[in-house]
Every structure is written in structure tokens, then in C-alpha cells.
Amino acid sequence: MTDGRALDALDVALLAALEDHPRAGVLELSRLVGVARGTVSARLRRLEDAGVITGYGPDVDVRAAGFGVQAFVTLEIAQGAIDDVRRDLEGIPGVLEAHATTGSGDVLCRVAASSHEALQQTLVHLNRSSAVVRSTSVVALSQLVPWRTLPLLRSEAAADAGRSGTGRPTGG
């Protein structure tokens, strides 16, 4: 976590239980993972304080919400204009996320729209930013692997369990 400690098997089990049962309370989570309620509360608080758990809001499927056209847009921006482009991107509702990147482009954006016409308007809006020099977009046809974190977390927890010699979660 932020102090250099990796997630252990209990942390990953709690995160998996939360993913499978997002409305579960502390008591239900303690039953699901087989540890005391106080342990669950302490672990959740530690995961929140470390920034591992960032919220408990609903996961929204933008396609099901009426925004079935998605695209990835690579932006080449003017030198030193990252703050300007961030501000401009935050002002465009169709921009779901944006990342500063290495490679041929400077920023990679994921955008969503209700139709191809609406996508075109979002792209036009992106290109109106004075910070954007050039943009390239590709339309996403389907999602092959949805956003996920548990396989990665489980792989590290399993590797750490093998190194500890016990394979049992530590702390509480």
C-alpha cells in the first residue's frame, strides 16, 4: 500500500467480497471472509486511509445508460499545456477519463456518446481546445476485458503468501 506494504490475502478477500456483494455491511463481510467484525472494520479503514478503496458508489455501465458509442482519443498537445488540456477535458461531459501518456501522443482519453453524431460533436469539442495540436480517435467496437483489479491483486497476494512461509493473513 502507500507505506510500501503489499495487500495480503485478507485484504484481497475483503475486496473480492465487496466486489461480489457491494451492498454487504461489515457483519456480512466478516461472515463471508471468516474473520471478526472488528478485523473487517479495521482492514476496511486501513484500505480507505491508504487510498486503495476510493469509494462505494455504484458502478455505472454507460452503455446501459444510453451512451453506447465509445472511443479512445489520442491527443498531441502543445508543449507545457498539460494543465490547460486537463481543464478543457474536465469541461467536456463525454470525457470519461484521460491519462497523460508516453509515446506518439501526450494524452489518451476514453469518451462516450449516445450516437455517432454525438461522438462527432465531442471530438469537435476536444479539438477546440487551444492546447490540442492534433487528435486521433478509434471507435471501440466491443469490450473484451472489462475493468478489473482482482486478478492482479490476487497474483501479488499469492506471491507474498508464498514468501511469508505461512500463507496466512497477518495483522488485524
Q: Domain of 88: which CATH number? A: 3.30.70.920
Q: How many domains does the chain have?
A: 2
Question: Are 50 and 77 within one domain?
Answer: no
The more confidently predicted of residues 172 and 38 is: 38
With 70 as the cut, is the pLDDT of residue 125 above it? Answer: yes
Which CATH number fits the domain that encloses residue 43? 1.10.10.10
- Cβ within 8 Å of residue 11, ≥6 positions away: 43, 47, 52, 153, 157, 169
Q: What is the pLDDT of residue 153?
A: 92
Inside any domain, residue 86: yes
Q: Could you count the other beta carbons within 10 Å of the beta carbon of residue 130?
A: 11
Inside any domain, residue 145: no
Inside any domain, residue 43: yes
The more confidently predicted of residues 80 and 162 is: 80
Predicted confidence (pLDDT) per residue in 28-68, tens digit: 999 999 999 999 999 999 999 999 999 988 889 999 999 99
The 3-state DSSP class for residue 68 equals coil
Read off the C-alpha cell for 106.
501526450
Q: Domain range for residue 27?
A: 9-58
Inside any domain, residue 152: no
Q: Could you count the other beta carbons within 10 Å of the beta carbon of residue 127?
A: 13
Mean pLDDT across 95-108? 96
C-beta pairs of 121-125 under 8 Å, 24+ apart in sequence: 122/92, 122/94, 122/95, 123/71, 123/73, 125/92, 125/94
The more confidently predicted of residues 92 and 56 is: 92
